[in-house]
Chains A and B, each alone.
Chain A
Amino acid sequence: AQSVAQPEDQVNVAEGNPLTVKCTYSVSGNPYLFWYVQYPNRGLQFLLKYITGDNLVKGSYGFEAEFNKSQTSFHLKKPSALVSDSALYFCAVRDEGGATNKLIFGTGTLLAVQP
């Protein structure tokens, strides 16, 4: 069964420094991968997706993600972190087995950006 793993519960970075939030995936076919962000007591906001094409995907709020098939990874990146980026980040993969756009989420990574 397909899955995603987020190996870090928390990532700490200083404002202005580059950030990376890691995600690895396990699928049998071609992956449809997503990143979402969740602010306290809010729902999930879509950041970006990879379906096919360029391995570097650009998304909202200056975020980008790099798809690496050989390493089965889809890490989220941003060149310069902002304090306002502090939030919970989820990686997700679209379920291959069903006929729907069901997503399977990772456990989330809390990003803390210090001023």
Chain B
Amino acid sequence: SQTIHQWPATLVQPVGSPLSLECTVEGTSNPNLYWYRQAAGRGLQLLFYSVGIGQISSEVPQNLSASRPQDRQFILSSKKLLLSDSGFYLCAWSKGQVFYGYTFGSGTRLTVV
């Protein structure tokens, strides 16, 4: 069966520090991968998606970036965090042409202080 792992679960970082959040999927190949952010009390904002290794599409201009160095690995990064980067970050995957929705990871709670 397919599983998705996201880590760390919680993170407290100072303003101006770098960020690296990792997401991996097991049990499938060539998934579509997504990063979402959920600000406190708000809905979900799509940040990046990827249809293959090295292919990244950005939905929202910001100081975050994403990379996909391997088929089932998706990384969210920042060189210098801002206070406004605080939130709940969710990774998700979907598969193929027949669309059954996303499967989400358990999320990372990021607090920038």
* B and A form one assembly: no
User: Which A residues fall within an 8 A CB radius of B?
Assistant: none
User: Which B residues fall within an 8 A CB radius of A?
Assistant: none
